[in-house]
Amino acid sequence: MIQFEDTIYFYLFAVIPIVVVLFLWNLYWKNKKQKEYGDLNLVKKLSPDKSVFKPILKICVLLIALSCLIIGLVNPKIGSKLETVKREGIDIVFAIDVSKSMLAEDVAPNRLDKTKQIVTQVINQLGSDRIGIVAYAGSAFPVLPITTDYGVAKMFLQSMNTDMVSSQGTSLDQAIELSTGFFEEGSATNKLIILISDGEDHSEGIESAIELATKSKTKILTIGVGTEKGGPIPIKRNGVVQSFKRDRNDEVVITRFNEGTLKQIAKATKGDYIYGDQTKKVLEFVKNALDNIEKTEFETTQIADFKSQFQWFLGIAFVLLLLDIFLLERKTGWISKLNLFNEKES
């Protein structure tokens, strides 16, 4: 497995096309000036030892050297061995509502972005727990299976949007059923679902979903996002509001927060509910809930012993730059005799 220590240096690769453009412009400028000076064939006879191929070779060597320098700055690391680590924790699945109603801006910046902020902060305060992510709207969609890689989890979290689930509406029952299925069957590790929603529910099987979670001894913490006053659902193009979602009667749809179902789910599964208006308060709520759940020891395999590889790339870059210095733009005798690049007149 490869890791990159300082990925910000990848932006330096933007220099490569700039160097290429400058090189091509320089060739064009030289060719233009030579035409102004006189006939090109006569100009070439005045400098018979000048190679047409060498400048191209020099720029290629320079570009490869620059690429190696940039990769050296990034410092790629290779994990050379696997090790099994014992940890204590629980399995957590975040079930995140991505229905269109989550675009309402009655909480800043909108309900979905507020949800992402909350989940990110919760992940940041976790210790050795394993986590997974489920997205749901009219149906549920697996985003990330159970893992201990919090960095990957946060990356997938930020990519979530209201277009990732095609069927619209809000089916809390499918969210619970899919989340429950994420956990290993027969595992002794305690299980927790953290379900975040604005409380709208268009499903009819919530009772059976709750029963499934109860049978599998899965607690559900529910977090409500939105306001009772509610707000319209904006339709944006390039970040600019064009209009608002309307119903069949051409009236602007107002989506309102409803905590009733969320409280019902939490109570039935021996979990708890909190209104997520304040992130700090939610973090304390989740922390207290986790402290009251018994941790189980489990094993996880991970790649360890990452070794830096920057020195190889810097070494190659140094050799190529040294070669570039001694690589003159004159023809090389033995190559010239071979006439590989048609530099001799027939």
Nearest to 142 by CA among 128, 156, 122: 156
Position 50 confidence tier, pLDDT thresholds 50, 70, 90? low
Sign of the C-alpha dihedral computed for residues 37, 42, 44 and 46 taken in this order = negative
Alpha helix positions (H), 75-221: 111-124, 150-158, 172-181, 206-215
- What dotted CATH number matches 85-301? 3.40.50.410
Mean pLDDT of 4-15: 86
Cα–Cα distance, 275 to 302 (Å, whole number): 37
Look up residue 175 and give its two tokens: 């969210």
**Please, where in the chain does CATH 3.40.50.410 lie?**
85-301
Contact present, 241 and 198 (Cβ < 8 Å) = no
Q: Is 343 left (phi over 0), alpha (psi -120 to 50) or beta?
A: alpha
Cβ atoms < 10 Å from Cβ of 273: 19
Provide the percentage of residues in the chain whose pLDDT is more than 70. Answer: 83
pTM above 0.85, yes or no: no
Summarised one tens digit per residue, pLDDT across range 294-333 is 887 765 555 556 678 888 899 999 998 888 887 665 555 5
**Confidence category of residue 110, pLDDT binned at 50, 70, 90:** very high
Q: What is the 3-state secondary structure (H, E, C) of 25-39?
A: HHHHHHHHHHHHHCC
pLDDT digits 0-9 by tens, 222-263: 999 999 899 999 988 887 888 898 988 899 989 999 899 999
